[in-house]
Structure 1
Amino acid sequence: MIHFFRGRQTASLMRVAMVALLVVFFKDAWATGGACSGGGQTFTITLPATVSVPRDAAVGSLLTTWVASPAATNYWSCSENNDNGLVYAKMGPLFTASSGVNTTYSGATVAVFNTNVPGIGVAVAANVATLNGWAGWQVLASGTTLSYFGYGPFSGSWAGGSRVAVALVKTAAQLTSGGTVSGGQVAYVYPATSYNAGYQYTNLSVKYVTTPVNIVPLTCTTPDVNVPMGTFKTTDFPNVGSLSSNPASFTVQFLNCPAGAAVSGTQAGVIHSIQYRIDPTSGTLATNVAALIGTPSATGVGIQLFTASGSVFPLSTLQSLSGYNSATGGNYTIPLTARYYRTGTVTAGPANSTMTLTVSYQ
């Protein structure tokens, strides 16, 4: 009895072991239903060596045209056995931090990633080819999230390929300084087999690298201006609205404005337009009359500006720099005059004011 019982127990253990072996064998046969070879290429996407950027160009402005790598469908050769074939595209490793800005390329919304130059981003789009043909341009979501394009299940052989396009994009409202955008690998693409990419052939990656780009902010030089207003008596302003005699003449200067040629389809190459405004530091006492600063100070008067034609210059209002020529650049001046303007009861004292010139380059 005891001998018989032990024999049955041994047979049961053998059957269990055989079943376990069959399960392992079956799983292994399914998972190795495909294999890939090929890849290893590195493609250089050549961007412009220098890009001139208007300092205040709109966020999201395209700064280079899109540059795409060659299109080929035979970078990899893969085989499947009732399995799924996939091609993965991944961002990086050079730039992987999202800027929060998007652009578009060939109908696809493409995320823009921060580069090493503040205010300048890079957009990368990928397109891959499988048995289904070209998948269409797709955004590469991040440095750690894979985008995949695939088909299946399928049994047989297939060839795969890829293509990547790159552009630079402005990501900040104001470009405060230039610099060189580093060159390096911005994306890579590789094949995989089995459902959920059980086998990813990262060793067969096709890599895409970009060339360095020097970023040059475009601005004019705007020197500070000191305007001597002269000395006046309180009796020189008999009524509210009275103006001082002897207007003080001065000019607002835009010097060394750069010239260039616009890059078609982008906001790069030249300053397309210049706008400016003059804002009183301490606000206004009346419409277009700047308040005085300092303690002690005269009261009952402010400062009003006038154009060369004698009309009141509108404060805190954007004006276009007329006559500006982006093709020639150069120096430009705006002639103005300043006069005291009575706003109330006038008392003697220093009568100083400051104003700020703000310039917008588009």
Structure 2
Amino acid sequence: MGNDTQRSDLLSLMRLFVRVAFSSCIGMLSLSAHAALTCTTAGANNVINAGSISVPANPTVGATIATLAPTHLQMLCKMDSSAPVETTATLGAYFYAESAHPVAGFTDVFPTNVQSVGIRYRFNAPACNASNVPMYDWDVLLTCPVSGEVGGPYVPIDVTVITSLVVTANGPIPLGVRELTTVPLVGIAYETSDTPGSSWPQSPLYTGAASGRIVHACAINQPDASVTLPTVNSSAFSGGVGSVAGPQSFSLVFSCGSGAQVSIVLTDNTDPSNRSNVLTPTADSTAKGIGIQILNDKGAPVSFGPDSSEPFTINQWVIGRSPNGRLEVPLTARYIRTGNVVAGAIRALATFTMSYQ
């Protein structure tokens, strides 16, 4: 028990030392030539590759707009033959955002070159008892026990890093297409329990370079579009199942920036799994045998799909190139007979999701 307490105190002192050293100059950190535990890194010098990311039309602060492919790193350690001879030790691995502080209002989101878009890092290393650990304030420490025979092979410690892009302000995320080019350089430094007060840098986890397109083509002018259909007599559906009546035009209106192809998908809010072209009436509807359809600008019934901004989402359709200004998407709602008609009130709800390429 006493050794565990001493080791905990030792690592705390080492953590304090490395914080002070990092704040001044990473080049001043010393490298012990006589450590019994020696470690190196495989899989460093990564570049963030975000691809093409669609920002929601009206994003909320703190919303994750994309989770990127994980980064896999290995810390390789072995017990060498230098004195003192040991078969167990502890690696302290520091990952730190060089010359970067969290965005105002956040403790774990760091700035990128794109206005109001930040990046978050989460670290997973089972051998270090680390699960989804954030880079908090400006760094994160992974404490990893290592054991092995003296002069034996390197023991791999696997680290998986999950990065995500986060909305950091109410606005404005600029409309249009922005190139992601810069994120914080994330450095790595090691120190070991058998060499207190000494630490040494590794190649960086992330170089600070990035690639990708942040597409925020449009913002919604009206968050909720309510459409009231006219009252019709049940005799309007005398033609049988499939008869339609009471069309009512409406529009979705956006403010856009040029540079992207805009697509949209409508989702049945009452039954998100619905892939037909008839909305499911809400539970408080009293009419029976009647549904509601939405028609696109060509007069064709819209089939519903999942709430997804991914390209080629089922039943997503292309609106066209985003203008530099107002974009209006004309639609029409109407009744359609689906069975035996019972007079009453009917209500249905749909949501829409934009996608930009």
TM-score class, shorter-chain normalisation, is: 0.3 to 0.5
TM-score (norm 2): 0.46
TM-score (norm 1): 0.45
Q: Which has the larger radius of gyration?
A: 1
